[in-house]
Structure 1
Amino acid sequence: MFKRLLPLLALLALPAFASDCPDTLKFIKRKLNSDQTVNLCQAYKGKTLLIVNTASYCGFTPQFKGLEALYSQYKDKGLVILGFPSDDFNQEADNEKTTADICFTKYKVKFPMFEKLHVKGADADPMYRILAKEANGGVPKWNFYKYLVGKDGKVIELFSSKTTPESDELQSAIEKAL
């Protein structure tokens, strides 16, 4: 019950955000398989972000390995990857413990992973609505879509699932954003 109330409590906490916090970060999100929450503005303001909608049972799930390599390569330069599991494409585990095991045990993910949420449609999480709006209506059409967000909190570019973490296109955009 408490986990269901967290998104509502996060909305109530919005006035606590500084007026200079970018809209993309004016959220409190719960860590994956945890009761601990993170104020995204406090934790990630001024960082370059790669925000990814993930899924545990997708053909693109092995991208976790490449995302972790990107994170390891660029984290000291200011890149943070934020993973948000989503079942919008019917390929996410039914419970967060299984999702966490796949992320943290199977793929050894160290970048921040958060609660499962909706990334498209009428039920889309408010953060994903803002990301889509800033990406000129770019809504994830599948798992592992990647929003590159600049230090100013604005979406720089949206990359599809087919753009792998190892791609020159993505790495070049990250390096330019850093």
Structure 2
Amino acid sequence: MGESLRSIHQFKAKLINGKDKKLSDYKGKVLLVVNIASACGFAPQLKELQELRDELKDEEFEVLGFPSNDFGGQEPLEGKAINEFCELNYGVKFPIFNKMMIRGEQANPIFKFLSTKELNGNIKSTPRWNFHKYLVNKDGEVVDYFFPFTKPSSTKLRKKIQRLL
């Protein structure tokens, strides 16, 4: 049976190591999908994202990081260098995908889906900067979003995640 067109599970993307990853592999998990950038002032949120993941890893929760150079050229790194930066500086172990465009005509289909209400059925929210966060329920439906200044440690974000777990 095919994936619902209202679910992020219909997509696949390349992990930073070059391997294809079906997002349907995350069925049954609550996801926090974040566009990340190593040279961004919000980069310390990578550590908080990892702490959030560590705290909830036994509760069917995952963070997915999508590097992008769309905002202020703040992702100058490529491939393994992005992964090494995230791991060495912030202890990141959550999945990081290949660098991609996340807004405009050239946007990756995953981000077109996340940001377009006509596609996801629930929200309209185009990232305006790095570390825009989308909250996805266990069925792969986009249920909420958070602006970059909302930290992963914020009570608002954590309560919404807990409700979905």
Same fold (TM > 0.5): yes
The correspondence for 2:150, drawn from 163, 168, 172, is 163
> Superposition pairs for residues 125-140 of structure 1, below 5 Å?
125-133=108-116, 134=120, 136-140=123-127
Q: Secondary structure at the match of 1:80?
A: strand
Residue of structure 2 equivalent to 1:63: 45
How many residues get paired? 159
Residue of structure 2 equivalent to 1:25: 9
Residue of structure 2 equivalent to 1:110: 93
Residue of structure 1 equivalent to 2:159: 172
Unaligned runs of 5+ in 2: none
The correspondence for 1:143, drawn from 130, 145, 148, is 130
Q: CA deviation at 1:29?
A: 1.4
> Superposition pairs for residues 93-104 of structure 1, below 5 Å?
93-104=76-87
When normalised by structure 2's length, the TM-score is 0.91
> How many angstroms apart in 1 are the aligned matches of 2:51 and 2:96?
15
> Superposition pairs for residues 3-18 of structure 1, below 5 Å?
18=1
Answer 1 or 2: higher relative contact order, Cα 8 Å, separation at least 6: 2
Structure 1 residues 39-86: Cα deviation after superposition (integer angstroms, max 9, x where no partner): 111x10121000000000000000001000000011110111000000
Structure 1 residues 14-37: Cα deviation after superposition (integer angstroms, max 9, x where no partner): xxxx414553122221111x1222
> How many angstroms apart in 2 are the aligned matches of 1:95 and 1:53?
15
State the AA in 1 paired with 2:28. Answer: G
> Superposition pairs for residues 64-79 of structure 1, below 5 Å?
64-79=46-61
Residue of structure 2 equivalent to 1:88: 70
Unaligned runs of 5+ in 1: 1-17
> How many angstroms apart in 1 are the aligned matches of 2:94 and 2:150?
19
When the two chains are superposed, the root-mean-square deviation of aligned CA atoms in Å is 1.3
Would the aligned equivalents of 2:123 and 2:143 in 1 still touch at CA under 8 Å?
A: no
> How many angstroms apart in 2 are the aligned matches of 1:172 and 1:23?
22
When normalised by structure 1's length, the TM-score is 0.85
**Identity of counterpart residues, as a percentage?**
40
User: Higher helix fraction: Structure 1 or Structure 2?
Assistant: 1
